[in-house]
């Protein structure tokens, strides 16, 4: 073949290739990333979320993405994120502090294990078998040091995969009246602030007023040891009902109604009850009551507490004050998630009620006693519906509170609470969702008020839907993380009342928190670097394109 | 006058039809709204199985139309269902807060209508003078001022600045009234009710005042008023005995309707003063997607309102013999 015909034939082959591949190789147009809707709650109801996501939207636009902020009410947002998992791209979200979340299991396992992608809390659709293995292993590793290694590793993987675009841990700021209470008598609990169980039993009245009067924006829905209802409900039943263990101010489970908790083996836990405990009606608290309290949720009548007792195969009574819990398998979080979670309820009251339920369609959640009887440091006194709940100190308790009464008032007008803490209608401002700098201002003008700010166990983040490209790509997620300038969010959005977050474990949980995480920051430049390395390109209009060979497969979410 | 039973029967039928339509709209509105009662229970520990148990408990696992039929059937038996949130009978939940709403509403209505009627007479008396202009401007101002703004203003002055009156609730922290009657007769309770009812009265005042004034101005043109004047009766006697007695009729019926509205509670005032009433309950129920409670409470309020409208119609014909029920049919 002559050189001419060689050229001619190679040209022909090229032509043929181009013709054939025309339909296969995407044009640049198909590689343009679709308009991305960034979902946030309204500025009026969630100003911090709205401002953070507005900022992200602007930064994404800089990056060449057609990002559009979409404001929807919480009901619609949660509906979309939770029930339509393949329909959204980016949404603001938050996890709040609860005592049981002091154990890392809930955040490490439930949020990211692949088994919870379909209908559990892994609504972002994160799937990583390597992570799954670690999340599973930490569950059954009873030795704290060994488990700690796994928890540290898990946090590292979450950062490598940029699963969430974390923003901040907010500060919890709580104001109380130092004319009424001794200043050093409040307890700052790790990640929970001073609004907690330990404060309520320790706070020391120094004047004539012996009642702690606090506020809540929400009302109490139920006072029932077998029903996990609203947040403020939990403040109430935590005080009325004792538990075998409680989460300590440092965030670790410690014996409470139990004198001692001893692991006989990986699946056997022996409990020795405190001697002399009495229910609020005077009856003694016995091992039988404890057995009853843990076995009741195993029936179908207590659906919400069932997950916390599922691991128990049987509860053995050794004597009046001694029990042994036999577990189906080792469970590292057993102390925090079960022993420190299950409310102790008197069998002589609830036994007959459960008998009754067997023949009725309702379950135990529908029962409301007129006077709930527990064995905790406070006993029920009164509940004025939608107005207040009053508890009296239980003087016979082994940790009897120093105040006479604990009163929570349901105040719907948030602005009003600022006036009420000044004129004495309240003496402990337990919930305030407004601007923290206003609080600070208030405290500086009133010498009798004091404010304690602590870093929240909970955190805010920007949820990225891994079920939909380009968010399925860790490099793309890292780019978004890089453009979310956390310092800026802390200063501009939170006015300094927050700290940057980089893990589901709060800095307050010193034992579990991984301090060596390398959180990708660096702004637009770093983001472009991440994207280039992963093959993303920009067209001549500056629009971001998928890596060569990848085309847009999803339609915009709105 | 005689009651026209046929008319009353027809009016009653219309009332039932209205209520059925309202019930239907309420049923579907809440279910088609974004949001889901389960989102209130979104929790990492919440499994699919538990969700299904809840759905079944709430009766939400059945097709919408079947739910609707069950709802209507229950309604006919006077059963408004069980609140998702409080796990209690809707009527029982409503009954806990209804008295507070009624006290607040009735007290404010009485203040507003007494002051309104007297104010209306006064303005009619001052017709053409400067006082009338000032009065009308003031009335329009109170009528248009947003309730939450007036509420915050009185709170800032009387509770937080002067410290004279409490700012929220129906009683001091930790104090329980022995009974509903003890509460109603306690001066402490009235002290707590003063600010919210004052705020509400300021808002309600405009309607009776302006209505009374207009009617007075009209009746004062009537020949019997002129004759009374010609007879040399004192101006006060003419105003009160002749003009006002006739001018008050529409105000009375307006008040009957006002009572009806009052049952629904006042969302804004109840929230500003953290008053444990029906208006607040309704808002909570809607935000928590507690369908049975929200629709039950709305329905109850609507029923009473429709009924009071009906009463107002009848009252009108009873009070004014010139109007016969045929005219109104």
Please write the tens of the pLDDT for every residue from A531-555. Answer: 999 999 999 999 999 999 898 989 8
Quickly state the pLDDT bin for B329 (edges 50, 70, 90).
very low
**Which residue range is the domain that position B145 belongs to?**
90-328
pLDDT at position A22 is 44
Is residue A40 over pLDDT 90?
A: yes
Tell me whether residue A238 is in a domain.
no
Distance separating alpha carbons of residues B176 and B277, to the nearest angstrom: 17
Q: How far is A428 from chain B (nearest CA, A)?
A: 13
Is residue A394 over pLDDT 60?
A: yes
Whether B169 sits inside 8 A of A387 (CB atoms) is yes
Task: Report, as an integer, the average pLDDT of B55-64.
Answer: 75
Given A320, A345, A375, the domain boundary residue is: A375
Residues A381 and A479 occupy one common structural domain: no
Encode pLDDT of A3-26 as tens digits: 566 666 665 565 555 444 444 444
Encode pLDDT of B27-43 as tens digits: 888 777 766 666 655 55
Tell me whether residue B18 is in a domain.
no
pLDDT at position B81 is 82
**Which residue range is the domain that position A208 belongs to?**
179-217+377-447
* Nearest chain A residue to B94, by CA: A385
Closest residue to B34, CB basis, from A73, A221, A425: A73
Enumerate the residues of chain B whose CB falls inside 8 A of the CB of residue A228: 43
Given A447, A472, A502, the domain boundary residue is: A447
Residues A426 and A524 occupy one common structural domain: no
Say if CB A210 and CB A403 are below 8 A apart.
yes
Distance separating alpha carbons of residues B213 and B247, to the nearest angstrom: 8
Residues A40 and A161 occupy one common structural domain: yes
Encode pLDDT of A158-171 as tens digits: 999 999 999 999 99
Residues A432 and A529 occupy one common structural domain: no
Q: How far is B306 from chain A (nearest CA, A)?
A: 27
Distance separating alpha carbons of residues A108 and A308, to the nearest angstrom: 16
Preferred mutation among B29, B38, B39 to probe A, highest tally of A CBs within 10 A: B39
Tell me whether residue B138 is in a domain.
yes
Is residue A515 over pLDDT 60?
A: yes
* Nearest chain B residue to A409, by CA: B173
Quickly state the pLDDT bin for A391 (edges 50, 70, 90).
very high
Encode pLDDT of A243-263 as tens digits: 999 999 988 899 999 999 999
Task: Report, as an integer, the average pLDDT of B68-75.
Answer: 85
Q: How far is A421 from chain B (nearest CA, A)?
A: 10
* Nearest chain A residue to B269, by CA: A413
* Nearest chain A residue to B44, by CA: A121
Closest residue to A382, CB basis, from B33, B160, B176: B176
Q: Assign A262 to helix, strand or coil.
A: strand
Q: How far is B268 from chain A (nearest CA, A)?
A: 10
Domain total for chain A? 3
Residues A353 and A400 occupy one common structural domain: no
Write the CATH number for A389: 3.40.190.10
Closest residue to B42, CB basis, from A78, A368, A381: A78
Distance separating alpha carbons of residues A529 and A535, to the nearest angstrom: 10
Write the CATH number for A107: 3.10.105
Separation of CA A310 from chain center: 21
Say if CB A462 and CB A56 are below 8 A apart.
yes
- Nearest CA-CA partner of B45 in A121, A127, A297: A121
Write the CATH number for A313: 3.90.76.10
Sequence-distant (6+) residues with CB within 8 A of A531 are A63, A475, A476, A479, A544
pLDDT at position B124 is 84
Tell me whether residue A553 is in a domain.
no
Q: Tell whether B157 is within 8 A of chain A (Cβ).
A: no
Is residue B328 over pLDDT 60?
A: no
Indicate the average pLDDT of chain A. 91
Tell me whether residue A552 is in a domain.
no
Indicate the average pLDDT of chain B. 83
Is residue A69 over pLDDT 70?
A: yes
Quickly state the pLDDT bin for B321 (edges 50, 70, 90).
low
Q: Assign A471 to helix, strand or coil.
A: coil
Distance separating alpha carbons of residues A261 and A238, to the nearest angstrom: 20
Closest residue to A407, CB basis, from B42, B45, B173: B173
Q: How many CB pairs under 8 A join A and B?
A: 147
Quickly state the pLDDT bin for A30 (edges 50, 70, 90).
confident
Task: Report, as an integer, the average pLDDT of A53-68.
Answer: 96
Q: Tell whether B182 is within 8 A of chain A (Cβ).
A: no
Q: Assign A415 to helix, strand or coil.
A: helix
Whether A83 sits inside 8 A of B54 (CB atoms) is no
Tell me whether residue B59 is in a domain.
no
Distance separating alpha carbons of residues A92 and A43, to the nearest angstrom: 12
Residues A212 and A328 occupy one common structural domain: no
Q: Tell whether B322 is within 8 A of chain A (Cβ).
A: no
Q: How far is A340 from chain B (nearest CA, A)?
A: 16
pLDDT at position B249 is 81
Quickly state the pLDDT bin for B303 (edges 50, 70, 90).
confident
Structure tokens, A290: 């404890």
Residues A73 and A116 occupy one common structural domain: yes
Enumerate the residues of chain A whose CB falls inside 8 A of the CB of residue B82: 366
Whether B167 sits inside 8 A of A79 (CB atoms) is no
Domain total for chain B? 1
Q: Assign A305 to helix, strand or coil.
A: helix
Distance separating alpha carbons of residues B228 and B232, to the nearest angstrom: 7
Residues A512 and A497 occupy one common structural domain: yes
Give the CA radius of gyration of chain A. 28
Is residue A378 over pLDDT 50?
A: yes
Q: How far is A142 from chain B (nearest CA, A)?
A: 21
Tell me whether residue B36 is in a domain.
no
Task: Report, as an integer, the average pLDDT of A260-285.
Answer: 96
pLDDT at position A5 is 62
Task: Report, as an integer, the average pLDDT of B77-94.
Answer: 85
Given A417, A447, A477, the domain boundary residue is: A447
Query: pTM higher than 0.90 for the full model?
Result: no
Distance separating alpha carbons of residues A195 and A296, to the nearest angstrom: 30
Write the CATH number for B280: 1.10.3720.10
Residues A388 and A268 occupy one common structural domain: no
Q: Tell whether B35 is within 8 A of chain A (Cβ).
A: yes
Q: Is ipTM > 0.90 here?
A: no
pLDDT at position A291 is 97
- Nearest CA-CA partner of A263 in A348, A341, A326, A174: A326
Enumerate the residues of chain A whose CB falls inside 8 A of the CB of residue B51: 119
Residues A188 and A149 occupy one common structural domain: no
Tell me whether residue B314 is in a domain.
yes
Quickly state the pLDDT bin for B216 (edges 50, 70, 90).
confident
Say if CB A240 and CB A254 are below 8 A apart.
no
């Amino acid at each position: 073949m002559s050189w001419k015909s060689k050229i001619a034939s190679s040209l022909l082959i090229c032509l043929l290739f181009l013709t054939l591949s025309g339909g296969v190789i995407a044009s640049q147009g198909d590689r343009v990333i679709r308009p991305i809707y960034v979902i946030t709650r309204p500025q009026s109801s969630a100003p911090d979320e709205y401002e953070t996501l507005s900022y992200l939207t602007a930064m994404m636009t800089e990056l060449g993405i057609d990002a559009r902020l979409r404001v929807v009410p919480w009901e619609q947002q949660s509906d979309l994120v939770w029930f339509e998992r393949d329909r959204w791209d980016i949404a603001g979200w938050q996890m709040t502090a609860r005592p049981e979340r002091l154990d890392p299991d809930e955040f490490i396992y439930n949020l990211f294990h692949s088994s919870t992608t379909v209908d559990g809390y892994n609504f972002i659709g994160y799937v990583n078998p390597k992570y799954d293995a670690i999340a599973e292993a930490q569950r059954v590793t009873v030795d704290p040091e060994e488990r700690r290694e796994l928890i540290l590793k898990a946090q590292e993987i979450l950062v490598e995969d940029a699963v969430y675009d974390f923003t901040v841990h907010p500060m919890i700021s709580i104001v109380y009246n130092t004319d009424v209470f001794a200043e050093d008598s409040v307890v700052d609990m790790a990640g929970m602030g001073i609004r907690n169980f330990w404060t309520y039993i320790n706070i020391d009245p120094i004047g004539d007023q012996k009642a702690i009067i606090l506020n809540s924006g929400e009302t109490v829905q139920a006072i029932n040891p077998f029903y996990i209802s609203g947040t403020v409900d939990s403040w109430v039943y935590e005080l009325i009902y004792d538990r075998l263990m409680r989460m300590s101010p440092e965030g670790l489970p410690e014996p409470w109604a139990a004198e001692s908790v001893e692991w006989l083996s990986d699946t056997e836990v022996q409990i020795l009850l405190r001697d002399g405990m009495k229910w609020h009606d005077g009856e003694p608290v016995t091992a039988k009551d404890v057995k009853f309290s843990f076995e009741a949720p195993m029936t179908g009548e207590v659906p919400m507490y069932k997950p916390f007792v599922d691991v128990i195969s049987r509860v053995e009574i050794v004597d009046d004050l001694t029990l042994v819990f036999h577990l189906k398998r080792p469970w590292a979080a057993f102390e925090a998630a079960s022993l420190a979670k299950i409310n102790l309820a008197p069998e002589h009251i609830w036994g007959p009620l459960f008998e009754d339920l067997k023949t009725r369609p309702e379950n135990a959640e529908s029962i409301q006693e007129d006077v709930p009887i527990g064995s905790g440091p406070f006993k029920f006194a009164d509940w004025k519906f939608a107005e207040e709940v009053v508890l009296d100190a239980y003087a016979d308790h082994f940790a009897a509170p120093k105040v006479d009464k604990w009163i929570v008032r349901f105040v719907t007008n948030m602005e009003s609470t600022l006036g009420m803490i000044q004129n004495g209608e309240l003496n402990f401002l337990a919930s305030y969702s407004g601007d923290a700098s206003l609080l600070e201002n208030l405290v500086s003008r009133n010498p009798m008020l004091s404010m304690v700010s602590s870093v929240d166990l909970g955190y805010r983040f920007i949820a990225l839907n891994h079920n939909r490209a380009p968010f399925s790509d860790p490099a793309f997620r890292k780019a978004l993380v890089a453009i979310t300038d956390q310092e800026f969010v802390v200063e501009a959005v939170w006015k300094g009342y927050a700290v940057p977050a980089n893990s589901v474990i709060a800095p307050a949980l010193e034992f579990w928190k991984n301090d060596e995480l390398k959180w990708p920051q660096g702004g637009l430049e770093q983001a472009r670097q991440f994207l280039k390395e992963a093959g993303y390109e920009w067209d001549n209009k500056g629009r971001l394109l998928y890596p060569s060979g990848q085309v847009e497969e999803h339609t915009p979410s709105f | 006058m005689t009651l026209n039973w046929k008319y009353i029967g027809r009016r009653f039928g219309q009332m039932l039809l209205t209520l059925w339509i309202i019930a239907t709209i309420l049923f579907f509105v809440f279910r088609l709204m974004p949001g889901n009662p389960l989102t209130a229970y979104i929790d990492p520990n919440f499994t699919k199985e538990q969700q299904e148990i809840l759905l079944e408990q709430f009766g939400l696992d059945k097709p919408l139309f079947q739910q609707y039929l069950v709802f209507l059937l229950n309604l006919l038996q006077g059963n408004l269902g069980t609140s998702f949130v409080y796990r209690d009978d809707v009527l029982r939940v409503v009954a806990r807060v209804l008295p507070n709403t009624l006290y607040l509403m009735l007290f404010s209505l009485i203040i507003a209508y007494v002051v309104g009627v007297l104010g209306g007479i006064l303005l009619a008396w001052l017709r053409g003078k400067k006082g009338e202009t000032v009065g009308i401007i003031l009335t329009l101002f109170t009528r248009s001022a947003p309730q939450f703004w007036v509420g915050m203003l009185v709170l800032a002055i009387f509770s937080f600045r002067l410290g004279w009156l409490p700012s929220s609730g129906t009683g001091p922290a930790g104090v329980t009234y022995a009974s509903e009657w003890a509460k109603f007769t306690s001066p402490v309770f009235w002290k707590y009710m003063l600010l919210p009812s004052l705020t509400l009265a300021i808002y309600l005042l405009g309607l009776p005042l302006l209505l009374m004034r207009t009617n007075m101005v009209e009746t004062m043109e009537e020949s019997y008023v002129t004759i009374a004047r010609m007879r040399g009766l004192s101006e006060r006697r003419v105003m009160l005995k002749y003009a006002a007695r006739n001018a008050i009729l529409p105000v009375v019926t307006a008040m009957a309707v006002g009572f009806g509205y009052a049952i629904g509670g006042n969302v804004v005032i109840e929230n500003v003063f953290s008053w444990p009433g029906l208006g607040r309950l309704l808002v909570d129920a809607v935000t928590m997607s507690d369908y049975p409670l929200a629709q039950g409470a709305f329905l109850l309020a609507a029923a009473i309102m429709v009924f009071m409208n009906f009463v107002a119609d009848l009252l009108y014909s009873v009070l004014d013999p010139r109007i016969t029920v045929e005219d109104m049919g």
